[in-house]
Structure 1
């Protein structure tokens, strides 16, 4: 988890208790936090291998902001809405490789951001290229050096 109920209370205090009291009986803060985590993973999952090895502090803050916004099932304040939109904007920038989460290695305290997701840089040997300007049929017509 990127954030806990305790993190919400530490950041927003009594406001969370007030919002919690207005939740429908079948809802819980844990569900709201899970929704926030799913939303975050939807943005960063294409770039980072999940689960993350550790949670950067900025991601914990964004998870709290998103969960707080979701706790307002009625109209949120302008400040709550703006913090949510800022978090989503940052996550979109992370997904587009224009911002970084600054994930720190627990062993040597170095940044391990942007490690490849084990995707090959080129096509494996023996595969056939199916698209683009020079497909196999075009390449077969070209003279070869033998």
Structure 2
């Protein structure tokens, strides 16, 4: 099941140089969604559960569309996968440097994965472990006489 349409990418395009072939955009959307399915296998089940729920306060589907559109936009902004581009016209020159380990490649960033994670990206955050045994009178779970 497709989550994102070509219009989701094209309607959100900022600046010039928007792709003019919705079929090609659709091909890259399919690739991006396959990559996301591989990285976040529980995503479709969570989307199905959200769709079945009467309380539509969650915006997971919109977040997925945003992430896919962002991934596809990155590919179309740098289709030649160049690290930097320079152009000169008369006395004026312009330079653009693309970031990332492999610019122009279809990737899911850690930030995007955190948005799609089942726990909202809280995995790997700090936690605490109670070092007081449960049977200790200093434990908040202590019940006198319980053994």
Which category of TM-score, normalised to the shorter sequence, fits these structures?
Answer: 0.3 to 0.5
Structure with higher helix content = 1
* Bigger proportion of residues as strand: 2
TM-score, L = length of structure 2: 0.45
TM-score normalised by structure 1 residue count: 0.45
